[in-house]
Amino acid sequence: MVDRIKQAVGRPAPLEAVVDRVEAVRRFTQAAGPYLPAEALAPANALVTRAGERLSLSRAHTVVALAGATGTGKSSIFNALAGVELSPAGARRPTTGQAHACVWGGGDASALLDWLGVGRRYGRDSGDTDLTGLVLLDLPDYDSVEAAHRVEADRLLQVVDLIVWVLHPQKYADKVVHQRYLAEYHRHREVTVVALNQADLLPAEDLQECLTDLDRLLAEDGLAGVPVLATSTVGPPGLGRLADA
């Protein structure tokens, strides 16, 4: 991946800050326990448990998920990053039925991938130290006609470290995408990147209009200021142009 995308998706949040936040939530749930019903605290307790498990498995890896609807080209981005075709990409829909993982160094990630429940995994050593520790996931299409694919995508979105939402120029404003996913994940704003893929299909002026409109929609979703990338795996702007948010 080119420098700007690597910077956007490959840099983990400071570990100390993550640990501090988890500990703060844990203290809150303990203090609130006598006063709030168990069901009200269940999501917070689940978060603490999940975060504790995640941190105990590997602090040397950052798990980044490519999430998108059918036909957005997320598998093509995954393969372009890997430098080899690992995840099927083509006209048959849905193409991605199971999550695929590509790991760049950072030590053994087997236990982490077992915990994530990702069986299709590949190791890469591109010699690019900027990618060391990156665990890139190509998720099943979240709008798949197969219910099991949607369930798997939803499950993994709850446990990854960073989400890259891959959108299509013709479908980026789809209300279902924004209401069902982007707006629902607004609390993950600090670990969210949005890619408007297949940007080569648009003239420069139309692309800028789409990016401006996408910024507006993301702000309505509670995702104002998240990094937005115009991407393409077959032509300009390529995979390196970071659009102004």
For residue 229, the SS3 value is strand
Residue ranges per domain, the chain? 3-243
Give domain 3-243's CATH architecture.
3-Layer(aba) Sandwich (3.40)
Residue by residue, pLDDT tens for the chain (245 residues) are 444 445 555 555 556 676 778 788 889 888 988 988 999 888 888 878 877 788 888 888 889 999 999 889 999 999 888 887 887 765 555 556 789 999 988 788 999 999 999 999 998 876 666 788 889 999 999 888 788 888 999 999 989 999 999 999 999 999 989 999 999 999 888 889 999 999 999 999 999 999 999 999 999 999 999 999 899 888 776 565 432 32
Q: Which two tokens stand for residue 120?
A: 């299709």
Is the distance from CB of 8 to CB of 245 less than 8 angstroms? Answer: no
Question: In the sheet where 62-68 sits, what is the strand order?
Answer: 120-124, 100-104, 134-138, 62-68, 162-167, 192-196, 228-230, 241-243
